[in-house]
Structure 1
Amino acid sequence: MSVRIKDLCADAAVPEAVAEFWAGLLGLDAELLPDGDAVLRAGGVPWLWVNRVSDPKVVKNRVHLDLAVPGREVPGARRLAEFDVFTVYADPEGNEFCAFEGDGAVDGLRAGPRAIGLCTDAADPVADAAWWAQRTGARIVPGPDGAPRYLEDVPGLGMTWKFVPVDDPRTVKNRWHWDVYGEVPGAEVRDRRPDWTVLADPAGNEFCAFPEPDE
């Protein structure tokens, strides 16, 4: 139970546009890097890396964010669908996200939109939630259907991790993923880099594992 979330990553054809959108929406500080990638920081700490890729987005993202948004209105985003309690939007490159009514308040202080959930599509959400709970020490709680498929108190994440049941199969690499610190027992090794290792969980979700930083 030594695994903790380091940050999030998103693939993009034009990282600058994606970074500008998310920085403006969530009040983050964006920096365009010399290699064309971008990083968004919260309080000086990397929160989202936007990495340039050549392959286009062709299917619905299997990893997306839920946001608390006053009035559920997101200027600059494309509205995809409307439901009773949330609205589905897309960012400039079509990355889907859901806006729920909320003022983004934290510790009683009103803020703008904020991320409240990391959603991961799953063929077996209960099993996936249990796998990650065992490795992070997160607390398993019921989803809206009563199934134990939500994780709370995920180290380093700062939001609920929701495993969402879907019928459509996974066909391509996830365009959004999470990075972690620590060893991840049972994960499949996909690639080894000098500073990190690309792994996959039993559902095939790729993520990158980094060694714990020196104190």
Structure 2
Amino acid sequence: MSPTWITAFLDSTPAAFDDSVAYWSALTGYDLSPPRGDAGEFATLVPRDGDAFLRVQRLAEGPDRIHLDLHVPDARAAADAAVGLGATEVADLGYVVLRSPGGFTFCYVTHEAATRPRPATWPGGHSSLVDQVCLDIPATSYDRESLFWSELTGWEERGSTVSTDFHSLVRPAGQPIRLLLQRLHDPTGDVRAHLDWATSDRAAETERHVGLGATVRDTQSHWTVLEDPTGRVYCLTDRDPETGVLP
């Protein structure tokens, strides 16, 4: 069942949660919604326009991570189909929590959303937007995991002009989140993920992030690897913030 919308969750330990939320709210320019959940563990980063696609969660245990919510009309039916493709169901809480064959956590939810927020324009004139989740997949599980996500979403898989270690899933028009599949050199381990930004000026955007507390870890020809003040790694890329593709 192809998702009608995808939300990315920044999941943080209790010790890192407040600092992580403050940083990502300042970085995106999005306000934070009132908390919700039994323990006030969930909140939404509310964009200036369009529908929300970034949320935060305070974890009870485990390390910081990214997980995805896939929005569908019928969460139960979608979860059953995902299990048929190789997923493992973890819990049915009204929304259904699952893990991919490679161990990546995702959920099926029924919340409706339809309007992709526009990129933000910053002082100096450049623009940027969080618009991609990169699934970091160990080499031994790459083929199976890539096929799983292509079948799960119904999105076509496409090779990259940058590296044979990257494949993307072609995002339907209006979707807020692209999915990039990265083959890691690590042979084993669970699939994990990080967020990617698209920006019209990577140097200016890097300076903006560093000014808010980020640390530059690496710079490549088409992307820069950053670490936020709590240790979460993410990337800035040269992709067009409107289209999501390289110029």
TM-score by length of 1: 0.48
User: Which is richer in strand?
Assistant: 1
TM-score by length of 2: 0.43
User: Which is richer in helix?
Assistant: 2
